[in-house]
């Protein structure tokens, strides 16, 4: 029983990380219809920036906040410079452009930071809480709390602010948005900025659990795509719930299904993607348009 609860909590924390990156992917998809394959690499690069700021002697929290701000700006620049020229183009064009961005960011990170594996400190330390006889890492609880806070903030921004309303309007009807005076370009830039910021947060949290090198987000991206597919590609809430389900399923399968162990865990997201696409292509909360697209 104790082991089961540990696996559950651990899966929830891992799933929160998948969910955070999936959230970034979904934010861009629902406003632009673009699946950003480079989301993980952008997060990786952001994490290296945080690492660089740490090396320069900044305290962790300051380094993280600085990184989030830089990532927000970088996300906007990427939209303006790389994505804007192809926006509204063919699906294949967009896929190739974001794959190109993937390679570009990955190579740039390798060129600047090298290919060594580095460790990255955790915001939450490595203490454990004893709750009813079960030892639970503070970090796991912290990660889940951070994700819930991010979702809460995004919800308030989208539902209660003018910028958020404009972002939703642009996602639904760009032409009509322009006619009421919303600058679609600027709004999409902000959307990419927010996604890059959320991704950066995910990157830093993930690096603290794993390690930091130029390829550490590659595997995570697959889990995040599984989470987004499961939740519905245009639903932020779905991305988070999908992340939790994938994370917990992965933990349970790795622990209790003998032949999966830790080597075949990657099967979990792949099977999830396959099953969802076969059975319910819109995912749990996706809207039907997604299926047609």
Partner 1 sequence: MSLLEVEDLEAGYGPVTVLRGISFEVDGGKIVTVLGPNGAGKTTTLRALSGMVRRSGTIRFDGEEISGYSPERVARQAIAHVPEGRGTFTGLSVEENLKVGAYVRRERDGIGDDIKRCFGYFPRLEERRGQLAGSLSGGEQQMLAIGRALMLKPRLMLLDEPSQGLAPNLTRELFAILERIARDEGVTLLIVEQNANLVLRFADYAYVLEAGAIVLDGDAEKIQSDEGIRRSYLGV
- List residues binding partner 1 (CB under 8 A): 162, 165-166, 168-169, 172-173, 175-184, 287
Shortest Cβ 171–partner 1 spacing (Å)? 8
Q: Which two tokens stand for residue 146?
A: 């951070």
Query: Which is closer to partner 1, CB of 119 or CB of 173?
Result: 173
Please identify, using beta-carbon distances, which residue of 107 and 183 lies nearer to partner 1.
183
CA dist., res. 102 & res. 185, Å (int): 22
In terms of phi and psi (left: phi > 0; alpha: psi -120 to 50; beta: otherwise), the region of 181 is left
Nearer to partner 1, 65 or 169 (CB): 169
Strands 128-131 and 134-137, how do they pair? antiparallel
Complex with partner 1: residue 162 or 292, whichever CB lies closer: 162
CA–CA separation, 22 vs 229, rounded Å?
A: 9
The DSSP code sequence of 253-279 is HHHHSTTTTTTSTTHHHHHHHHHHHHH
Give the SS3 label for residue 23: helix
The least distance separating partner 1 from the CB of residue 29, rounded to whole angstroms, comes to 15
| CB 144, min distance to partner 1, A | 29
State the minimum distance, in angstroms, from the CB of residue 291 to partner 1. Answer: 16
Nearer residue to partner 1 within complex by CB, 236 or 243: 236
> Given the complex with partner 1, which of 94 and 182 has the nearer CB atom?
182
183 to 33, 168, 188: CA distances (angstroms): 18, 13, 9
Calpha distance 121→54 (Å, rounded): 9
Q: How far apart are CA 123 and CA 131, in angstroms?
A: 21
Quote the least distance from Cβ 239 to partner 1, whole Å. 17
Smallest separation, CB 169 to partner 1 (Å): 5
């Amino acid at each position: 029983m104790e082991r089961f609860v540990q696996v559950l909590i651990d899966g929830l924390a891992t799933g929160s990380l998948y969910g955070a990156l999936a959230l970034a992917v979904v934010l861009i998809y629902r406003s632009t219809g673009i699946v950003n394959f480079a989301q993980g690499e952008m997060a990786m690069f952001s994490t290296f920036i945080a690492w660089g700021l740490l090396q320069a002697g900044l305290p962790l929290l300051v380094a993280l906040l600085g990184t989030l701000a830089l990532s927000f700006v970088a996300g906007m620049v990427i939209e303006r410079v790389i994505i804007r020229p192809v926006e509204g183009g063919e699906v294949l064009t967009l896929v190739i452009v974001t794959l190109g961005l993937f390679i570009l960011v990955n190579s740039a990170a390798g060129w600047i930071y090298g290919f060594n594996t580095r460790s990255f400190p955790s915001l939450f330390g490595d203490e454990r809480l004893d709750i009813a006889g079960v030892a639970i890492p503070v970090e796991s609880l912290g990660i889940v709390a951070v994700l819930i806070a991010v979702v809460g903030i995004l919800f308030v921004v989208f539902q209660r602010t003018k910028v958020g309303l404009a972002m939703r309007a642009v996602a639904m009807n760009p032409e009509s948005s322009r006619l009421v005076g919303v600058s679609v370009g600027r709004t999409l830039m902000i959307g990419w900025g927010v996604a890059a910021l959320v991704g950066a947060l995910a990157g830093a949290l993930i690096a603290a659990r794993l390690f930091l090198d130029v390829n550490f987000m590659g595997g995570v991206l697959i889990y995040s795509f599984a989470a987004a597919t499961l939740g519905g590609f245009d639903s932020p809430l779905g991305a988070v719930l999908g992340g939790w389900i994938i994370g917990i399923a992965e933990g349970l399968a790795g622990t209790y299904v003998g032949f999966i162990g830790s080597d075949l865990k990657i099967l979990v997201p792949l099977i999830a993607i396959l099953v969802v696409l076969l059975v319910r292509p819109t995912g749990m909360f996706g809207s039907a348009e997604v299926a047609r697209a």
